[in-house]
Structure 1
Amino acid sequence: MTVGGDPSARTIEQAGPAAPDVTAAAADLMAGLAATPWGQVSPSVYETGRLVALAPWLVGHTRRLDFLLAAQRPDGGWGGPDGYAVVPTLSATDALLAELRRSGGDHDRTDLARAADRGLTALSRLADELDGRTMPDMPAADLIAAALVESIDRALAGPVPGVAGGPAGGRPRTPRGLDGTKRLSAVRAMLGAGAAAPEKLLHALEAVGGDARGVPAARPGPTGIVGASPAATAAWLGGEAPVPEDPARRFLEMVVEQHGGPVPCGLPITVFERAWVITTLVRAGIGVTVPPTVLSSLRQALDPAGTPAGEGLPADADTTAGALYALGLLGLPFGLDGLEPYRMEKHFCTWQGEDGFSVSTNAHVLEAFGQYLVRRPDSPPRIAEVVPGLAALLRDHQRADGSWHDRWHASPYYATACCALALGRFGGDRARATVRRAVRWLLATQRADGSWGRWEGTAEETAYATQVLLLVGPDDGACRATAARGYAYLVRSGDSGGDGPALWHDKDLYRPTAIVRAAVLAAVRLARRDPGVMALVREDTAIGD
């Protein structure tokens, strides 16, 4: 299926500074969705550490150890800034200790011991600096932290050559407010009694330790996956290598082959990736040809129970809404039954039993309902009333500075783009002031080099900000000048989505490469099709270079 883009965009594209051909890059991106159906995701320190500890028999073990050693920060930790370092540092340290307690191996044990000791020191520092208020809202973080502290404590019960055990030989601690020891015990008791585990728990099944082995509640899916997670799958298999024909083993081997040794923490992300990429490209006016296999996967969202991001995960409102909106943007009919299981009194939950609340999920639901009403304006009140209700909800959750924050992404620029774009298209007159506040925040937070970013300027966050300015921002000189500087940064950075920090929330921060690349391409296309933006680019040699 082909959807056309802006016929004038090619001329503007050629007039701008040297940068990737957007049309060709978008075609490559769409082909990649079909060629890599599990998704394109950055490797995870946390997940890779779990495979080192749980599956040393798996091909690529040496490369995973190399990855952990290379990824250690100068301060001894792993992962992102602040509280984002806790879970990956626990996992990598535990993995290195597990390797040191094994006999043999190809690595210099002095290097492993030095890295483990530095990890223990970093954990001690993090426990002193952080508390529950400063910890990010990551899935199952309390269970994972409790399990890994317990595992490290066991490893240090006897001497480990070259490892002092942190400052003064102390055992690792978790930051205040993150201790999930009681909840972990309850989960283990539940599984031990043969009770069915909540489907969302299966994604972090490795946290329960030996109780995960062969648990009937976590049977592998058709392709051998447990919980859409290499670590969960390895935990379900147990410590011994299964026969080569075992479907779960084959899944792990295919993931390792696809990623070269290290592994991501969430795979597959099939429907999620495809919905986000298509929506981003089409919304920016980029013509796309959608492969039949990609289109059929989006139609899974028409199921009354909704659709999951990928095999092994529970269905969720975010993926369902994203897939439905993508179908609508492609001009295809769709229904909304798949979102009904997530309708609460005043909002839509991401999944049944969700502990928190997500503004980005509700922004995507607003887009799905809004797009449906474009085609069916005579819909009954139960459908029509959702749009103004969700628009009010998003307005109420805007922060005083004009931004939004969300539980599925580390950056406020992602959440702000989700909410501002949804409100700008479907929020009605009452949302105009809200969108203007978001735009003012973007104008005020652009960095001197033209980028945007929470910790540092990134192509991903710059792409989100640029899209908001050019899709729903006011038609004025300030927006165009700011967008021109953002466009110039994207051109200079040369990052089309393959590089940059991991900013998305899972058990560890991750980077969905195809989704980020689509965001960058969309921002570039929007800038190039705006004559006012491109005129500013050509006039300013600093921008044009």
Structure 2
Amino acid sequence: MPAARATEVIDIPATVRDLVGSLLTAPWGQVSASVYETGRLVTLAPWLTGHQRRLAYLVGSQRPDGGWGGPCGYSIVPTLSAVEAVLASLGRVPTGEVEAPGTDDAGEVAPYPGPAVLLGTAERGLRLLFRLLPSMDASAVPDTPALDLIVAALTDAINGHLDGERSAPPTALARVTFSGRLSPPAGVDGARLAMVRAAMRGGTGLPVKILHALEVTGSAARGHPAIRPEHTGTVGASAAATAAWLGDATEDGGRDEVGTDGPRARARRFLENVVNEHGDLAPCGIPVTAFERSWVLSGLARAGLTVRAPRQIVVELASALGPNGAAAADGLPADADTTAMSLYALGLLGMPHTPDPLWQFETETHFCTWQGEQGFSVTVNAHVLDAFGQHLRAVRGAPSTVGASADRCRAAVGKVTRLLCDRQRTDGSWRDRWHASPYYATVCCALALGEFGGSAAVDTVQRAREWVVNTQRPDGSWGLWDGSAEETAYGLQILALTGSARGGVEESFTRGYKFLLEVTRDTLEKDSGPALWHDKDLYYPRAIVRAAVMSALHLADTSRPARGRIADDR
């Protein structure tokens, strides 16, 4: 079948306008549902509307092997959460009702999982965890946020349910036949969890970055006086964390002593809004306002698409940049990643800002995501390079009064360029802690180095291009586990934006373009894809991926080699 141009498959300008408009109409962000967060709501907020639907989701999304979530180590967190949630639900069922049918929230018989189904679900999950956890060590566990805290907390909770099988009065837990107990993977212990819980019991509160996983602190989180929801009602930009702070809202209807507009009322409304917008489920992080807006707008503008962002979005993105930087959303700490991407996006949109907030994230060797970060991120540093490089481009030829600042920025550009070149893997790719796929890390690093790394990065960028060509799948796609529209978009962006699409990469570029054309309409209509982004669980940021796909299609449509080759095929 002859290939078509992207403009014959999808109206790119109209799709981009709708996408940018959705940043305003859906200001909390467009993020896929999470097994982990949904499981935490089952345990922590059984009173919340949609409880039975959340249970049905957990049962229905269990894999044949008994697990949930992504492959290998990516299944640990969602499987622990789902198993614990199902066990917690069984612990609320009197043992004599095990064979009762499922009911809806009003008590009417409905096609929701009854206790007998939940027992089978729990047994399969427990058996998988019993086999999986001892076979893994810390090196095989993905570097996702708060993983050590979550794994330790949920392992303890599951063992607590199993140890309480003989509780009085007896519950459906007594029917669990699994006789083992779980232990975390080697190298993942509960030491940091014990410290966090001790801090909570001592009344001192927690660092802002820990609030995103407040649920790991257990009952100590409920109504903690040092923690207050944001104006949106969220605690830690997480449904699970908010539910943990709110506690059992059935005791007082979620009301505050001072009325219906206090922090508890806001927290309850937040949870109600979240599940209402996500089919009774919960995403990993919500809201993700500044994060989503900066990634979408910068990605589109970098590809050369005309971006007419509503003034409100631009003003709000700029106002989120304080002296300490920008946070992905209310309830999260300021971080170098969102700060850098906001600066870069605003620069591309013609509203440049000083990059001074980034200096607080500078260390002797690199730029950290936030103060006290335990890991390291190449994509954060790539985005820092984008921000400083764009700033230097904007001030070129400016009065000498900005010279000192420009000199410091140039030094930072050199420092980060050397760092990223040194961190490139021998195969030409990069890997990172914020995304499962090397194609995301590689597009971030290769584009930043190609645009702002100068002559020092030429060979590094060429190796990245060669890796992209060498790892293309037979169907023209790119992908870590399977070919995907998102990762194929990254492959095309690397080839189009780091040099010519001619010569040795032209055939690869054209095959990737054809694949993306074939799957674009289906991808946009379903508005879904593989979950590859790191939060407590893997997630799929719909608006950001859509922007990446539109950017790649635009680049391919405006690439003379791709245009000519496809015209020949027709």
Q: TM class, shorter-chain normalised?
A: over 0.9
From 525, 528, 534, the equivalent of 2:563 is 534
8 Å contact 2:495–2:501 — kept in the other structure? no
2:505 matches 1:479? yes
2:467 matches 1:441? yes
8 Å contact 1:302–1:335 — kept in the other structure? no
Superposed CA deviations along residues 84-139 of structure 1, whole A, max 9, x for unmatched, are 00010000000001111113762311111111111101111211332111111011
Distance in 2 between residues matched to 1:34 and 1:82, nearest whole Å: 37
2:152 matches 1:164? no
CA drift of 1:162 comes to: 4.2
**Which residue pairs with 2:168 in the alignment?**
none
CA drift of 1:301 comes to: 4.7
Q: Which amino acid is the alignment partner of residue 68 of structure 2?
A: W
**Which residue pairs with 1:110 in the alignment?**
116
- Gapped runs of 5+ residues in structure 1? 1-12
- Compared CA separation, residues 150 and 483, structure 1 to 2 (3 A): same
Residues 463-542 of structure 1: pairs in structure 2 closer than 5 A:
463-494=489-520, 495-496=523-524, 498-540=527-569
Distance in 2 between residues matched to 1:338 and 1:240, nearest whole Å: 40
Distance in 1 between residues matched to 2:7 and 2:327, nearest whole Å: 40
- Gapped runs of 5+ residues in structure 2? 104-112, 166-172
Q: Which amino acid is the alignment partner of residue 217 of structure 1?
A: A
From 18, 24, 45, the equivalent of 1:28 is 18
From 168, 179, 183, the equivalent of 1:173 is 183
Give the alignment's TM-score, normalised by structure 2: 0.90
**Which residue pairs with 2:195 in the alignment?**
186
**Which residue pairs with 1:289 in the alignment?**
308
Superposed CA deviations along residues 215-236 of structure 1, whole A, max 9, x for unmatched, are 1232111121100000000000
Distance in 2 between residues matched to 1:16 and 1:272, nearest whole Å: 28
Superposed CA deviations along residues 499-519 of structure 1, whole A, max 9, x for unmatched, are 211101111011111001100
CA drift of 1:473 comes to: 3.1
Q: Which amino acid is the alignment partner of residue 518 of structure 1?
A: A
Superposed CA deviations along residues 113-168 of structure 1, whole A, max 9, x for unmatched, are 11111110111121133211111101111111111111111111133254222xxx
Greater alpha carbon shift after TM alignment, 492-501 vs 431-440: 492-501
- Compared CA separation, residues 421 and 209, structure 1 to 2 (3 A): same
* Length, aligned pairs only: 525
Superposed CA deviations along residues 154-209 of structure 1, whole A, max 9, x for unmatched, are 111133254222xxx11122211122x12211111111111131110000000010
8 Å contact 1:113–1:161 — kept in the other structure? no
**Which residue pairs with 2:254 in the alignment?**
243
Q: Which amino acid is the alignment partner of residue 388 of structure 1?
A: G
From 401, 411, 428, the equivalent of 2:454 is 428
8 Å contact 1:504–1:511 — kept in the other structure? yes
CA drift of 1:285 comes to: 1.2
Distance in 2 between residues matched to 1:171 and 1:297, nearest whole Å: 50
Q: Which amino acid is the alignment partner of residue 530 of structure 1?
A: S
Superposed CA deviations along residues 396-455 of structure 1, whole A, max 9, x for unmatched, are 100000000111000100000000000000000111100000000000000001111111
**Which residue pairs with 1:138 in the alignment?**
144
Residues 16-165 of structure 1: pairs in structure 2 closer than 5 A:
16=6, 18-103=8-93, 106=103, 107-159=113-165, 160-165=173-178
Q: Which amino acid is the alignment partner of residue 519 of structure 1?
A: A
Q: Which amino acid is the alignment partner of residue 26 of structure 2?
A: T
Superposed CA deviations along residues 298-345 of structure 1, whole A, max 9, x for unmatched, are 103531110100010000010000000001111222111221211112
8 Å contact 1:17–1:491 — kept in the other structure? no
Runs of 4+ in 1 over 6 A off after TM superposition: none
Superposed CA deviations along residues 34-90 of structure 1, whole A, max 9, x for unmatched, are 000000000000000000000000011111111111111111000100000001000
Q: Which amino acid is the alignment partner of residue 183 of structure 2?
A: R
8 Å contact 2:288–2:329 — kept in the other structure? yes
Distance in 2 between residues matched to 1:184 and 1:161, nearest whole Å: 29
SS at match of 1:58: coil
**Which residue pairs with 1:9 in the alignment?**
none
Q: Which amino acid is the alignment partner of residue 207 of structure 1?
A: V
**Which residue pairs with 1:369 in the alignment?**
388
User: Percent identity, aligned pairs only?
Assistant: 53
2:207 matches 1:198? yes
Superposed CA deviations along residues 469-505 of structure 1, whole A, max 9, x for unmatched, are 0111344232222111111111112323822111011
Distance in 2 between residues matched to 1:62 and 1:232, nearest whole Å: 20
From 297, 315, 319, the equivalent of 1:278 is 297
CA drift of 1:17 comes to: 7.4
Distance in 1 between residues matched to 2:309 and 2:205, nearest whole Å: 39
8 Å contact 2:501–2:559 — kept in the other structure? no
Give the alignment's TM-score, normalised by structure 1: 0.94
RMSD (Å), alpha carbons? 1.6
Greater alpha carbon shift after TM alignment, 295-304 vs 532-541: 532-541
**Which residue pairs with 1:313 in the alignment?**
332
Distance in 1 between residues matched to 2:474 and 2:337, nearest whole Å: 34
CA drift of 1:14 comes to: 8.1
SS at match of 1:335: coil
Distance in 1 between residues matched to 2:378 and 2:314, nearest whole Å: 27
Distance in 2 between residues matched to 1:366 and 1:492, nearest whole Å: 34
From 216, 233, 248, the equivalent of 1:207 is 216
**Which residue pairs with 2:110 in the alignment?**
none
Superposed CA deviations along residues 11-35 of structure 1, whole A, max 9, x for unmatched, are xx98557422111110010010000
Q: Which amino acid is the alignment partner of residue 227 of structure 1?
A: G
Q: Which amino acid is the alignment partner of residue 172 of structure 1?
A: L
Distance in 2 between residues matched to 1:452 and 1:128, nearest whole Å: 33
Distance in 1 between residues matched to 2:536 and 2:321, nearest whole Å: 28
Distance in 2 between residues matched to 1:469 and 1:333, nearest whole Å: 28
Distance in 1 between residues matched to 2:395 and 2:6, nearest whole Å: 40
**Which residue pairs with 2:356 in the alignment?**
337
8 Å contact 2:123–2:176 — kept in the other structure? yes
SS at match of 2:354: coil
SS at match of 1:38: coil
**Which residue pairs with 1:353 in the alignment?**
372
